[in-house]
Homo-oligomer: A and B are copies of this chain.
Amino acid sequence: MVNGPRMTKQRQLILEELKAMDHHPTADEIYHRVREKMPRISLGTVYRNLEKLAASGVIRKFDYAGSQMRFDADLHGHHHIRCARCGRIDDIDGAPDLRESDREMAARTGYRLTGSRIEYLGICPACIEEGRRAEEEE
């Protein structure tokens, strides 16, 4: 007999911390934050839980942007903006609606379309500021 997933302290804490973050962290970022409250947790546990939470639809996992996975507790559809310098990813609202173009692209390519997303790429305010400071020091 197969039982459902269990809500362990680890899983709960990981979810909580992810929800409290205002950007889309990597597994490692989550690991370090969670470890402040639960020092003996392992990185493997963090990965396993993020995977489980994503599989059950509680969080979202996405794989654009560099080589690292990013995680997101906010399920409503939205697009992202990414900093090319530090890799930070933020939400962005008000991007163009792609539903019309989705239909057109499906017809054009023969793909069965499951979705589309816009990624804006740039330098975030913190990195702009840091670049300015570095210049002044020269």
Q: Which residues of A contact B (CB under 8 A)?
A: 63-67, 69, 81, 83-84, 90, 92-96, 98, 101-102, 104-106, 108-125, 128
Which residues on the B side are within 8 Å of A117 (C-beta)?
118-119, 121
Which residues on the B side are within 8 Å of A124 (C-beta)?
110-111
Which residues on the B side are within 8 Å of A66 (C-beta)?
63
Some 10 contacts from A to B, beta carbons below 8 A apart, are A63-B65, A63-B67, A64-B64, A110-B125, A113-B120, A115-B120, A116-B118, A116-B119, A118-B118, A119-B119
Whether B122 and A113, one on each chain, are in contact in the complex, defined by CB atoms closer than 8 angstroms, is yes
Please report the C-alpha to C-alpha distance between residue A110 and residue B120 in the assembled complex, in whole angstroms. Answer: 12
